[in-house]
Amino acid sequence: SITDCKVINLPKISDPRGNLTFIEGQSHVPFEIKRVYYLYDVPGGAERGGHAHKALHQLIIAMSGSFDVVLDDGTEKKRVHLNRSYCGLYVCPMMWRELDNFSSGSVCMVLASNAYDEDDYFREYSSFLSAMKPS
């Protein structure tokens, strides 16, 4: 549920020469990392996401700049602002998400529990809702 989707504070080695953050699968992130992808060169006003995953676990990090993630489990919504390289938003399976409010030059990195699979997506909000609320 939406309460499982939490901002995780990642280890941060502070240093006057520049900070360092590291992430290890299954220890800092509650899944094994099988894929990494990132969004960049996002034009002002653009929205990404707009889908849910059936089984995929993800950790979303603002590597540079900032953006918002709107989570929706079909009942409840919450908007999370990400703007720190040492904070990751864990997104569990069966969670509709939209990303917006990208600052210029922002980079959104996503750690994922599986390889890309179009069959793992709900692309239609109505089919996501019927899966969440079977009548």
List contacts with ligand TYD (CB under 6 A).
Answer: 35, 37, 39, 48-49, 51, 116
| Smallest separation (angstroms) from ligand TYD to the CB of 37 | 5
Which two structure tokens, joined as six digits, stand for 55?
């089984």
Q: Which amino acid is at 99?
A: L
**53 given a catalytic annotation:** no
Cβ atoms < 10 Å from Cβ of 101: 17
What is the C-alpha to C-alpha distance for residues 37 and 51, in angstroms, rounded to an integer?
Answer: 16
**Which of 28, 51, 57, 81 is labelled catalytic?**
51
Instruction: Between 13 and 46, name the residue whose CB sits nearer to ligand TYD.
Output: 46
Where would I find the H helices in the chain? 125-132
Q: Which residues contact 19 (CB under 8 A, 6 or more apart)?
A: 12, 13, 85, 86
Instruction: Between 28 and 34, name the residue whose CB sits nearer to ligand TYD.
Output: 34
Instruction: Between 28 and 48, name the residue whose CB sits nearer to ligand TYD.
Output: 48
- Measured between its terminal Cα atoms, the distance across the chain in Å is 19
Instruction: Between 21 and 100, name the residue whose CB sits nearer to ligand TYD.
Output: 100
By the 10 Å C-beta count (0-12 exposed, 13-18 middle, 19+ buried), 30 is classed as middle
| Smallest separation (angstroms) from ligand TYD to the CB of 101 | 14
List, by residue number, the catalytic residues. Answer: 51
